[in-house]
Structure 1
């Protein structure tokens, strides 16, 4: 059986980390770092710098220690990304084209079609470039999920200890669940209120007439506590009794009718109620620590070179 050092490329078992580049190849594009022999070019760095909206900050701090620190911190982030992509490929992770397409559609679909091209232009990307970046992010996500996140666990005892030592975090203020109908005119709201008092369904009328986006849900605003809504809306919501309909309430958004669905008094969540949230918090903390350690290990076994002289000249 061959030894590990005979199977793996040499750069995976190297531990050297140099701050100065070797003699430059005149045919090679200028690079600010090389990660296991793979260049992060000056052009890639400047594009990433632009995409992070840091150009203005660097201009304000030009030729200062703050500027150098910002640029070096950004370079280290790029090095981390390159290390993770390389490790994903070493594990033979791949992302299917249809998965990339779905993610591209999910991200770009959050914006009106007429804004998408402008957003890409501001990022100095075309759709192919955005797709390549998306593929890298999905590769990294798959790597971290399998090698880091999915390996974390939280015990029942840890959940209980977290709950007992942070009980105050699970105190919930009084909350109300309210439906609303929003109209353009006071006359419309008054007419709808009379229909409800005569027995019409608040939910049905909200679906038919409300201007608010929650209208399609029967006007359901869900639960909220004090301080979460505009004062006029909050006052009407918390002064109502169950099932009753408010008077017409005017606001900058139009004219409102409210119906109280449910009221929750202030209380402390039980351990069972808080368990899922506590597990999520603990797993996030643990995964963050594990990701930091994972990256540190990748760095220790990798060959990373930096051209800090070139980096300092970038403005």
Structure 2
């Protein structure tokens, strides 16, 4: 029940945050200061040093409280309990600020275009909320207060999705553009070098004493001698001794490319060539023997083979560019005042003020 209440509180907070944007006529941010929240990591300036707002977008205020709440929630999700890398908090603040600014501009564009929400889809989503939290006392207590804001949020999200789909609906790329894209991006159409490996794993529990690890290493060494000096069959030994799922296939892992092997293993494989057998190698699960079976060279596919893929990738890139350019144009035409005194990190945002 506590977990449910916590999740519900987060949802309700997000709904209220997204639906409480104040008009500039109702607040004069430059006239006075008021305390606001502080984002994680101390990235926000002293809360009394400047007016309590993030930005004024075409006359609509994004308050410091709204921004701080959104930034704190984003930080919790992205960094959890870890220490953010240098500059990561500032970058996150800019991302959150950009999303909030663009949401206002996109909602304005929805109004200009006269888009309407899909009432049926919104009702279905509301119904799912009702079903999910029907047994929650918190939901029953807050339901009447939250539903109007929740409905508004869902309607806005539906229209925003429709607007994005409309902008991304670009014409299919012409043949010459697809060919040019194929030539300019050879790496996208090259199958990487692959290696075929076989594996035997002698399992050891990570918490086992040193003696257990030493015993597994010795057993792996004995199996290796049977393979190199006694002519034993690798597949047969794998089926009898390996704890890996590949044992039923005689240890055959099939063809793998770089990045598919655990860290630390690839470096050892790089020094091997087809036919080589590794020494006993300690891995997380125990001790392993690898046999390098074969290598498959990198292969660059001809245009005819990958034409559908090239077309799809280019179409996706063009749709992404259309959406990015559309949002950039909205920002360029907007009157945006950024409170860089309170939030120095957002000074890097390229917002044109009028």
**When the two structures are superposed, what TM-score results if normalisation uses the length of structure 2?**
0.48
Q: 1:49 aligns with which of 68, 71, 81?
A: 71
1:24 aligns with 2:27: yes
Pair 1:136–1:166, CA change in 2 (3 A) = same
Judge conservation of contact 1:21–1:305 (CA < 8 Å) in 2: no
Q: 2:253 aligns with which of 216, 220, 224?
A: 220
Tell me the secondary structure at the aligned position of residue 91 of structure 1. Answer: coil
User: Unmatched 5+ residue regions in structure 2?
Assistant: 1-22, 37-51, 130-149, 205-215, 345-354
Task: Give 1:240's aligned residue.
Answer: 275
1:251 aligns with 2:282: yes
1:293 aligns with 2:325: yes
Judge conservation of contact 2:106–2:160 (CA < 8 Å) in 1: no
* Distance in 2 of aligned mates of 1:100 and 1:86: 28
Judge conservation of contact 2:190–2:298 (CA < 8 Å) in 1: yes
* Distance in 1 of aligned mates of 2:179 and 2:297: 24
User: Unmatched 5+ residue regions in structure 1?
Assistant: 1-19, 61-66, 102-130
Task: Give 2:117's aligned residue.
Answer: 92
Pair 1:24–1:174, CA change in 2 (3 A) = closer
Equivalence map 1:135-154=2 (5 Å)? 139=158, 142-143=161-162, 146-154=165-173
Tell me the secondary structure at the aligned position of residue 148 of structure 1. Answer: helix
Pair 1:250–1:70, CA change in 2 (3 A) = closer
After superposition, give the CA deviation of every residue in 1:180-239 in whole Å (9 maximum; x if it has no partner). 33323235546877698286385x669x712x8x88997637421499753223334x33
Task: Give 2:197's aligned residue.
Answer: 178
Tell me the secondary structure at the aligned position of residue 200 of structure 2. Answer: strand
What is the Cα-based RMSD across aligned positions, in Å? 5.4
Tell me the secondary structure at the aligned position of residue 151 of structure 1. Answer: coil
Pair 1:273–1:188, CA change in 2 (3 A) = farther
Equivalenced residue count is 243
**When the two structures are superposed, what TM-score results if normalisation uses the length of structure 1?**
0.52
* Distance in 2 of aligned mates of 1:260 and 1:141: 52
* Distance in 2 of aligned mates of 1:269 and 1:142: 36
Task: Give 1:127's aligned residue.
Answer: none
Tell me the secondary structure at the aligned position of residue 181 of structure 1. Answer: strand
Pair 1:86–1:291, CA change in 2 (3 A) = same
1:161 aligns with 2:180: yes
* Distance in 1 of aligned mates of 2:187 and 2:218: 46
Bigger relative contact order (CA 8 A; separation at least 6): 1
Tell me the secondary structure at the aligned position of residue 257 of structure 1. Answer: strand
Q: 2:243 aligns with which of 195, 202, 209?
A: 209
Judge conservation of contact 1:186–1:248 (CA < 8 Å) in 2: no
Tell me the secondary structure at the aligned position of residue 294 of structure 1. Answer: helix
Pair 1:79–1:182, CA change in 2 (3 A) = same
Judge conservation of contact 2:279–2:289 (CA < 8 Å) in 1: yes
Judge conservation of contact 1:35–1:305 (CA < 8 Å) in 2: yes
Task: Give 1:200's aligned residue.
Answer: 236
